[in-house]
Amino acid sequence: MSNAKVDILLLGSGGREHALLVKLAQSPRAGRLYVAPGNGGMDAMAEKVEGLDAESPVAVADWARGHNIGLVVIGPEAPLVAGVADAVRSAGIPCFGPNGDAAQMEGSKKFAKQVMARAGVPTAAYRSFTDQESCEAYVRQVGAPIVIKADGLAAGKGVIVAKTIDEALEGVRECFSGAFGDAGATVVVEETLEGPECSLLALTDGKTVVPLATSQDHKRALDGDKGPNTGGMGVYSPVPEHLVSAEDLAAMVDVERRVVAELASEGITYSGCLYGGFMLTSEGPKVLEFNARFGDPETQVVLPRMKADLVDVFLACDNGTLSEDMVSWDDDWAVSVVLTSAGYPGSYEKGKVITGIEKAEEMEGVTVYHAGTALGAGGELVTAGGRVLDVTAVAPTFEEARSRAYAACELIDFEGKTFRTDIGLRAIR
């Protein structure tokens, strides 16, 4: 490994990107750090790049070349699907994130299903449709419960888990109505899988696949897994063996290796992070979805437990030299609670002043990752999104990590602060 400093451009503005930035900054190889667009917490750690369109391949590649960037890290999915990684690599600059073809694992649910079928990977049975009438007829034929998905990127929306046929038909109409833009032009209808969910992130250079620690997200807005689906209300890591057995974990890792190998056999090198969302069914793990990047909020509990030089690891993913011994794990537990704006995931107000973060971070093992924050006109920190902060605590026991995270949540204040009080309880047998 070289010891030369590397200037880094990180694309994104959420809690995931703040967690990536914190970990990258810990590397002895980290040089100047730039973020585009960043948020109220990231701006204090890195130079904010004004006016750069993170979804424009040409703009990102030109800016990176002009500023002698040695590594571009792409956080969110939209720039990946737009082909930003392709343009950056074509400019001779190392990049963390899959190329546009590989990113179709997230950019098109139909594409991902077809790859899974060819790789022999267990997943929900499905059909895809491009016209509303035949899609509705199929829904009436198979009945509910059933899952309706807009095929393309819908900013975390576009998945309707319908308990009744009426709900399913409403979901089909919503997709074809243009509510999700072009993402709903093709609609995927899936059988409903039963069981607990588990996320497994893996790093890969297109050949070697290094699984990261397991984590379990809580998607519903309200305690007891009630209310609407969200981008994630909280998460913990690792997932204990009474929920994910050694056999389950081995099966999940095998799935991710088979998918990367299948893509390679089709001429697509998948380099970056492959995120598998799994349902732990009575027949074993089945894939719910793949994402082409780190999960949010899973990253906020996985990275604090990871023992690795993230700059070296990301460069190895890019240049094809990734090895399993580059990553190891500490024995601590991590719990992250998401503080949201009142009304999320529906409409919510912005611009509420946030206080108490410094006090929360004085607690042992606590890090507050910024998600939807910005600096107000007077330099004060204000809310700027639905998911505002990820309050993460690391401790030797699960109970300790969980109680620290919630104690830290109580120290932070903003008008309309909302959070679930039951994050991680399912980890207790």
Q: Each residue of 280-309: pLDDT tens digit?
A: 999 999 999 999 999 999 999 999 999 999
Intervals of CATH 3.90.600.10 along the chain: 333-427
pLDDT, tens digit, for every residue of 29-57? 999 999 999 999 998 899 999 999 999 99
pLDDT > 70? residue 401: yes
Q: Which residue has the tokens 């069981």?
A: 195
Q: What is the mean pLDDT of residues 209-231?
A: 92
pLDDT > 80? residue 206: yes
Tell me the three state secondary structure of residue 164: coil
Residue 93 backbone dihedrals phi, psi, to 5 degrees: -110, 130
pLDDT > 90? residue 427: no
Query: How many Å apart are CA 91 and CA 46, to the nearest integer?
Result: 23
**pLDDT recorded at residue 429:** 63
**pLDDT recorded at residue 160:** 87
Residue 156 backbone dihedrals phi, psi, to 5 degrees: 80, -5
Q: Degrees (nearest 5) of the Cα angle 135, 136, 142?
A: 90
**Contacts of 397 by beta carbon, 8 Å cutoff, 6+ apart:** 333
Q: Tokens representing 45?
A: 């750690």
User: 65-74, 278-287, 354-363: lowest mean pLDDT where?
Assistant: 278-287
**Contacts of 376 by beta carbon, 8 Å cutoff, 6+ apart:** 351, 353, 382
Strands annotated E in 145-271: 146-150, 159-162, 187-191, 197-204, 209-217, 220-222, 226-229, 234-237
**pLDDT recorded at residue 428:** 83
Q: Which CATH number fits domain 6-96: 3.40.50.20, 3.40.50.620, 3.40.640.10, 3.40.50.720?
A: 3.40.50.20
**pLDDT recorded at residue 1:** 57
Domain 333-427 has CATH 3.30.70.20: no
Intervals of CATH 3.30.1490.20 along the chain: 131-185
Among 185-189, 198-202, 408-412, top mean pLDDT goes to: 408-412
Please give the model's pTM, rounded to 2 decimal places. 0.94
pLDDT band at 317 (very low <50, low <70, confident <90, very high): very high
Question: Hey, how many other C-beta atoms are within 10 angstroms of the C-beta on 173?
Answer: 15
C-alpha closest to that of 420 among 394, 390, 397: 390
Q: Which residue has the tokens 């998905």?
A: 149
Alpha carbon distances (Å) from 263 to 102, 231, 319:
8, 27, 18
Contact 85, 252 (CB under 8 A): no
CATH superfamily of 194-329: ATP-grasp fold, B domain (3.30.470.20)
Intervals of CATH 3.30.470.20 along the chain: 194-329
Domain 131-185 has CATH 3.30.1490.20: yes
Query: Which amino acid type is present at position 423?
Result: I
Contact 42, 368 (CB under 8 A): no
Q: Degrees (nearest 5) of the Cα angle 85, 88, 89?
A: 85
429 burial via Cβ count (<10 Å: 0-12, 13-18, 19+) = exposed
**pLDDT recorded at residue 92:** 98
Q: What percent of the chain has pLDDT over 70?
A: 99
pLDDT, tens digit, for every residue of 161-197? 899 999 999 999 999 999 888 989 999 999 999 988 8
